[in-house]
């Protein structure tokens, strides 16, 4: 499979160590990875000529533009409106937030309950759902 044929996963998280970890795991799984450290940077990346993504991993709690604001931006985009999004958070979600996640995202993963095999399985399922 050539670089162009690989699926690109967009990772947006303000935690540099987590971004690097996700990128390393996803690269080892055979994906191209593009990273941004906050919602504003993510929107800049999305507007670049030739940028394309097969799915996004978005931290919900970030400075500047929150993950929710970024998800809303992605969903309003004609190019990316159907891209699967995996939301990542370190906080407990309320019933209202969980309903919003179910409506807007493929799933949510809790940083405090992170499981590497579950992470990789979730990414493969999200990619397959959009194939």
Q: What is the pLDDT along the chain (131 residues), one digit of tens a residue?
A: 555 568 999 999 999 999 999 999 999 999 999 999 999 999 999 999 889 999 999 999 888 888 989 999 999 999 999 999 999 987 666 677 777 777 889 988 888 888 999 999 999 999 998 77
Contact 61, 89 (CB under 8 A): yes
Domains, the chain, with CATH or none: 3-116 (3.40.50.2300)
How far apart, in whole angstroms, are the C-alpha atoms of residue 70 and residue 61?
11
**Reported pTM:** 0.91
């Amino acid at each position: 499979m050539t670089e162009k044929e690989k699926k690109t996963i967009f990772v947006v998280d303000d935690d540099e160590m987590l971004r690097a970890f996700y990128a390393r795991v996803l690269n080892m799984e055979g994906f191209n990875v593009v990273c941004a450290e906050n919602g504003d940077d993510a929107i800049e990346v999305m507007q670049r000529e030739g940028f394309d993504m097969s799915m996004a991993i978005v931290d919900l709690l970030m400075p500047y533009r929150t993950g929710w604001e970024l998800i809303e931006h992605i969903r309003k985009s004609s190019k990316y409106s159907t891209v699967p999004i995996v939301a990542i958070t370190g906080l407990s979600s309320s019933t209202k937030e969980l309903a919003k996640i179910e409506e807007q995202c493929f799933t949510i993963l809790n940083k405090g309950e992170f499981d590497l095999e579950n992470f990789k399985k979730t990414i493969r399922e999200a990619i397959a759902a959009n194939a």
